Amino acid sequence: MKQIRIFVFAALTAVMLAASAGAVETVKAFSDVPETHWAHSAIMTMVRGGLFNGKTAPVDGIGTFAPDAPMTRAEFVTVLTRLLYADRITDAVNEGPWWQKNYETALNAGLLYPEELDGGALDQPMQRQEAAMVLVRSARAKGFPTRLAGTGAIADYETVAESYREYVRICFALGILQGVDAQGSFQPQGTLTRAQAATVIFRLVDGQSRNPLPDGETEFVNTAGVPQGENLTDIAGQLAVMEDDRPALKSKKLVTARKTLNKYLKEVYGYQFFEGGIAVDEESEGEAAKLIQHEKDKRLGLEVTIWRGDYNSTGEQSIKLNLILEAMVYLSGDPEVGYALWSWKDAANINGMAYSEDFGFEDVASDVDEDKRGVSIIAMNGVEVEVDNSETDVTRYYFSKA
């Protein structure tokens, strides 16, 4: 994921520099944030970037920051929209309180929804669990890979409001906003201070300042934010679906299909489909699966070469299994079909279940031998899929309209 972090840092730094270009007064230091202050570096970086302001006008370059003062919801949302959506703020509605433009920008960008934060009561202090929600959405907007910390890592997890629990776990895992003590207490209803706010937003910019949990202490999350658990079949019907740009059943251009799907996968997973298989980038050695095209009739398809042997898949293997599921959903144009195909493959590979087993398909026609080698044609929801399992350790799926 190093490539993603470098890209994010460069992009957000550019926004910060643009914001600072219009600054009139220069703050050299804050009398209440000495160089020995634990958040000095983050605070000064945010201020110099034009994202944060001091609490008093500087005199001879010296101002005050009020690092221990509560960070209001309005201030937090304002800083994040300056960071992420600076080019959209001027187009927002310019009526109401000073933060209205930033709030409208956050709503339009999906950073917030109208009913959240008590229906837009932004003058109240920002709770730590509320900050986690907005930080995770900001991280997702920039393509950060998503993982969940184990609930045991958060000492007071049961006190986190249910609607914020996923966000808190993700913030913990990414190393953006974590515990306040050695026990991992999160203090979800606690107020975020200005120093803490500057620090966690700085971590969105600078990957080196984050302290992510090791892979063994996290769970990978699919596109709907649903943790995998031991069996990916637990996430039935919960995958995110692209509403547009799903030309797989209409187009016979492999390059176009791969480009469209990869744009989506890169943002969510950091992995993509390349000619050699699933990988982080083209220079990496891909494996597991790749998009293919039928030599004769040009139907788009998927070639799967690696699968798990039991339900305890973790780490990179889980990511690749998720990408295979995403590709099946994309190529079929139907989440139900994609999920059924994935489950069918999983059951056959792990349990030796025959391909004649019913997984919700409307029709299955198989020509396979006693070793389950051969070709099956399945139909479901107006989609026909040819499943070629003739070769050992290779399964090919070709998609078309039934």
pLDDT tens figures, 94-114: 678 999 999 999 998 888 988
Question: In this predicted structure, what is the pLDDT of residue 5?
Answer: 36
Which DSSP letter does residue 244 get?
S
**Residue pair 108/101 in contact by the 8 Å Cβ criterion:** no
Q: What is the CA radius of gyration of the chain?
A: 25
Domain ranges of the chain: 2-219, 232-401
Higher-confidence residue of 212 and 5: namely: 212
Q: Which tokens hold the place of 28?
A: 């050299």
Range with lowest mean pLDDT among 94-108, 163-177, 291-305, 310-324: 310-324
H or E segment to which residue 274 belongs? strand 272-274
DSSP of 355-386, one letter per residue? TTS-SS-SEEEEEE-TTS-EEEEEEETTEEEE
Identify residue 297 by its one-letter amino acid code.
D
User: Has this prediction a pTM greater than 0.75?
Assistant: no
The 10s digit of each residue's pLDDT in 112-165 is 988 899 999 999 999 999 999 999 888 877 666 667 788 889 999 999 998 899
CA 45 to chain centre: 26
Q: Which of 365, 84, 374, 372 is nearest to 201 (CA)?
A: 84
Confidence band, pLDDT 50/70/90 cuts, at residue 19: very low
Look at residue 54 and tell me whether its pLDDT is greater than 60.
Answer: yes
Q: Give the CA-trace dihedral at 21, 24, 26, 32, to 10 degrees.
A: -110
Look at residue 241 and tell me whether its pLDDT is greater than 50.
Answer: no
CA–CA separation, 109 and 85 (whole Å): 8
The 10s digit of each residue's pLDDT in 69-84 is 999 999 999 999 999 8
Q: Which of 350, 324, 325 is nearest to 235 (CA)?
A: 325
Look at residue 289 and tell me whether its pLDDT is greater than 90.
Answer: yes
Confidence band, pLDDT 50/70/90 cuts, at residue 334: confident
Look at residue 194 and tell me whether its pLDDT is greater than 60.
Answer: yes
Question: In this predicted structure, what is the pLDDT of residue 16?
Answer: 44
